[in-house]
Amino acid sequence: MADSNASRQRPSLGQMRSNSFLLDHQQYKPPLPISQNIDEVLGAQLDQSLTTLTNPVSPDPERVTDSGVVHSIFHHGANPLPQGTARIVATLFYKSSRPVHPNFHPDASSNVAPGQTLQAPQVPEGSAPTVDMEKIPREPPAPEPEPLDHLYGPYVSQLCLTNFLQTLEQLPTPYQRTNTSHRCLDREDQPRVVEVTFSPPPDPAYLSFADLRKHESIWRFEREWNVEVVLQNESVFRRHKRLAVFDMDSTLIQNEVIDEIAKFIGVEKQVSEITARAMNGELDFSASLKERVGLLKGVPADVFDKLKSVITISPGARELCRALKTLGYKMAVLSGGFQPLAEWLAEELGIDYAVANHLEIDTATQTLTGKLVESYPIIDAAQKRSLLTSIAAENNIPISQTLAVGDGANDLLMLHAAGLGVAWRAKSKVQLEAPTRLNGESLVDILYLLGLDNEDIVELAAANK
């Protein structure tokens, strides 16, 4: 009988064999006594791991605690950050004007009407030189990642922020601890704009800052959460600029002036096609400008006065310029358009400099000759960059304290030369090549890139009243 009881208490391997090698051996291990709660168990494991593992980074970096909420997945003990450790600021903008929703497939959703099919493949704006599928000489793009903002909220949600921090953790090579903090720039509840500071940045020997800005993981994160990420090196000059230069057409104003002039003589279609190709970098700007200007021969010289009534100043342009003026900025409009309207816009917005192209006028007939005034240089990409540096030098402003904003291929040299160059609602090729890009609804968003929050912007607006 004793042998029979023992047999029941200790079954043989043959009697209890399972499909798992691990389970076959674990059945002989006595159960652990339950004497601790889950917090005590996890705490003990963390303390033990910290005493047995050495920190791969030397010296051990400290959490960034200069602003907002501190994030750390490590032990909360002292973690001194070396003096002068570089930091990067990422400004996240939720694209509230263009919420993303999943493409419901008839086979996967009961909410689809009979006969409805999956949407045709599309190229996301800013991810290729063209969004026309027929012009892309390769296979259609891979399916878009599942949009998550429709699940977790149309704003920068906590899960969105957590996902971004996880993305940052995976980028450095070799691995190093990333310490971060964040602050909501517009509102604490359901923010649209969030600033994240992280350090140390990835080793530039493995991942340069320019490559980090265009990293595939960050691009995918943007697509998943319907946000835009602007990365900047943190420094006093990020927050304290002194010169801002702007393109005019499709930036400070929503019109293309030369297209508006073309409407007067019925050649809008020909001119606008050339303009679109030139702004996307498909044509030489100077040659295309001369070709378009040639089509304007015979237009009355007072056309610019008539155009003022149809020019639409971009949303946020007045507020942005007033805020920068209050902060003591020098400002310039550098346009591939025409001088009369550039001067008018500068007066409207309180801008200090206005430089654009000069159209030749036949004094006898008071009409445009279809030529440019040869004594003035064409305001092309190289000239815009030259004007940026010369205006900065004239006012004793370091180039690191300059801001440039534009949308066309003729703005790229200027955007790369400036301390901060922003492609604003730009053409696809420009978005790919520019240092940073924004596609918001209001130019006021640029103030967030300078470290200002909503309270600062409201105070600046009040100072102008």
Q: Which residues are identified as catalytic?
A: 247, 249
**Torsions phi, psi for 388 (to 5 deg):** -60, -50
Give the C-alpha separation, 57 to 55, whole Å. Answer: 5
Give how far Cα 125 sits from Cα of 122, 219, 274, 410, Å.
9, 12, 20, 19
Contact 171, 207 (CB under 8 A): yes
Contact 333, 354 (CB under 8 A): yes
Q: Which of 309, 316, 272 is nearest to 425 (CA)?
A: 316
CA angle at 140 for the pair 138 and 146, rounded to the nearest 5°: 145
- Give the amino acid at 283: L
What residues contact residue 415 under an 8 Å CB cut-off, 6+ apart?
404, 406, 421, 422, 423, 434, 435
Long-range contact pairs involving 137-146 (C-beta distance under 8 Å, separation at least 24): 144/223, 145/220, 145/223, 145/224, 146/102, 146/224
3-state SS, residue 355: strand
Give how far Cα 233 sits from Cα of 85, 96, 177, 248, 385, Å.
11, 26, 18, 28, 22
Share in percent of the chain as helix, strand, coil (round to 5): 35, 15, 45
What residues contact residue 409 under an 8 Å CB cut-off, 6+ apart?
278, 279, 280, 281, 285, 381, 427, 429, 430
Biggest alpha carbon distance in the chain?
A: 128
Helices and strands (H and E) in the chain: how many: 20, 13
Burial of 205 (C-beta count, 10 Å sphere; 0-12/13-18/19+)? exposed
Q: Would the CA dihedral through 165, 418, 382, 424 be positive or negative?
A: positive
Look-up of token digits 């279809």 = 370
